[in-house]
Amino acid sequence: MQIQENVSLKDYNTFGIDVTARYFISVSKPEEVKKVLDLKGYPELFLLGGGSNMLLTQDLERLVVHLNLKGISVQEKGNDKVWITAMAGENWHDFTQWALAQDYGGIENLSLIPGNIGTAPIQNIGAYGVELKDVFVSCTVMDRATGEIRTLTKSDCQFGYRDSLFKKEAKDQYIILSVCLELTQKNHRKHTTYGAISAALRARNIDNPSIQDVAEAVIGIRRQKLPDPKEIGNSGSFFKNPILSKTEFEQFSKQHTAAPFYALDDGNYKIPAGWLIEASGLKGFTKGKAGVHKNQALVLVNYGGATGNDIWEMAQYVQHTVIEKFGIKLVPEVNIIP
């Protein structure tokens, strides 16, 4: 465990933004995390996982702590359920592939989401009709102020749409060390009603898909729409899909009859942010080295050499344009790091 100085974070964030960490350390064990918290002279810490859900806009004069905790273990098996604990530094997509190899179901729709296990609860990651909260049991966290380790349950985490306790009153309070999920062993509940998945399965003449078939369909869809961060810097979906109340939706739908929507259980309606951006004429729009991806308008990209501020200015331009056309403000899903 060694503190380095003036380390480029270009390879540690999926946008590929080249900023410098004044101090940098990588930790691979919970006890090392505790030692870092006890260090004197570094009052401000910046926790770094997979670097997939953030936009760095300037050099960091803090101690950047790279959470590289690894390990996947089966905690308990029931008649149909299995409880899996994965450490925070495990890559999320690699974990979904591991689960599929064991024929464990529940997260196949979340395949190919960038990032690590430790950041998944913060965002309550979701895709194609499934969210992390659907399989979440608990997570082990360390209190940044005291070093105390405790377990937080699903109810403790207050999950919402791309939201959680960790983005509200507990922001910057905890370090997530591991996550426990409940998956199925045989009676898999497959989510295939999302249009793109249904179409992909029909195209392959699959009427009774396995969880592996569903995962392959999701991966195929995402690869067609989303650029590989290793080739084009991006952080996946940049904006949340806006949620409208029934009254707001009725007014919106009268004016925009072609707009797709999803009715939610709470009586509200979700409008795809990607559709709003594309309908605003911004799909494929570029300014300098920053742009809106040509295949998926929800993704902002770094074509090479863009700064974090270039990307943020692009995001603000998208917000302004969508407000002008639809009267809806898009909220970033990505964390903007000042």
Catalytic sites, residue numbers: 162, 237, 333
Q: Is 63 helix (H, G, I), strand (E, B) or coil?
A: strand
Structure tokens at 79: 């008649």
* β partners of residue 48: 66
Task: Report how far residue 207's alpha carbon sits from residue 154's, in angstroms, rounded to the nearest whole number.
Answer: 34
As a residue count, the chain comes to 338
> What are the E-state strand segments in the chain?
4-8, 20-27, 45-48, 54-56, 60-67, 72-77, 81-87, 126-127, 130-131, 136-143, 149-153, 174-184, 233-237, 243-244, 262-263, 269-270, 286-287, 290-292, 299-302, 335-337
CA dist 172 → 141, 168, 290 (Å): 12, 9, 30
Q: Report CA torsion sign: 185, 191, 196, 198.
A: positive
The edge-to-edge listing of strands for the beta sheet with 72-77 is: 72-77, 81-87, 174-184, 136-143, 149-153
Helix ranges (DSSP H) in 159-233: 195-203, 211-225
